[in-house]
Amino acid sequence: MLVEDRELTSEIHVDFVPMVDVLFNLLIFFLLATTVAQVEREMAIALPFASSSTPISAMLQEIVINVDAEGRVYSRGRAVEADQLQSMISEAVKLNPDQKVTVRGDRTAAYEHIVRVLDVCKGAGIQEPYLDTVLGN
C-alpha cells in the first residue's frame, strides 16, 4: 500500500515579485504626482510675513497666480498677460462657480501690481481671492 505524504503537498508558496512591482509603480506614481503639484509653489516668490498665516491648500480647483518683484504675472508655470488671465479665470468660473484663486505676491512687489491682479480676479467673477503669506515674527 502506497502512503501519500501530506506535509510536502501542503506547503504554500507566496510570490512577492508582483507585490513589489505594484509597490514600485505606486511609489513612482505618487512621486510624479506630488512633483507636478509643487511647480506653482516653487517659484522664486518671497511671500510677505503675517501673524496669522494659514497652510497652503492643495485643492485641485485652485488657481494660483504669482506676481514677482518686477510685477510680472505667472500662472500654471508661465507668464500671462491681464487679458489672458481674465479669460482663464472666467472660463474656470463658468465651470465651477466656487472657483478658488490664490494670489501670491512677492513681498518687494509694488502693491499696484497685486491690486491689478486682484482687480482682474474680481472682474472675472471671483468674489474672494486669497492672498498667500508666510508665518512670520
Question: How many angstroms separate the Cα of 43 from the Cα of each of 14, 77, 93?
Answer: 47, 8, 25
What total number of domains does the chain contain? 1
Enter the C-alpha cell of residue 13.
508558496
The pLDDT of residue 2: 66
The pLDDT of residue 23: 93
Q: Is 37 among the domain residues?
A: no
- Angle CA(132)–CA(67)–CA(97) in degrees, nearest 5? 60
* Residue 61, domain extent: 44-135
Q: Is 1 among the domain residues?
A: no
The pLDDT of residue 58: 38
Which residues of the chain are modeled with pLDDT < 70? Answer: 1-10, 35-43, 52-60, 136-137
pTM: 0.56
Q: Which residues, in sequence order, are CB contacts of 110 under 8 Å at separation 6+?
A: 71
Q: Is 103 among the domain residues?
A: yes
Q: Is 83 among the domain residues?
A: yes
Which stretch of DSSP H or E encloses residue 62?
Answer: strand 62-67
Enter the C-alpha cell of residue 95.
465651470
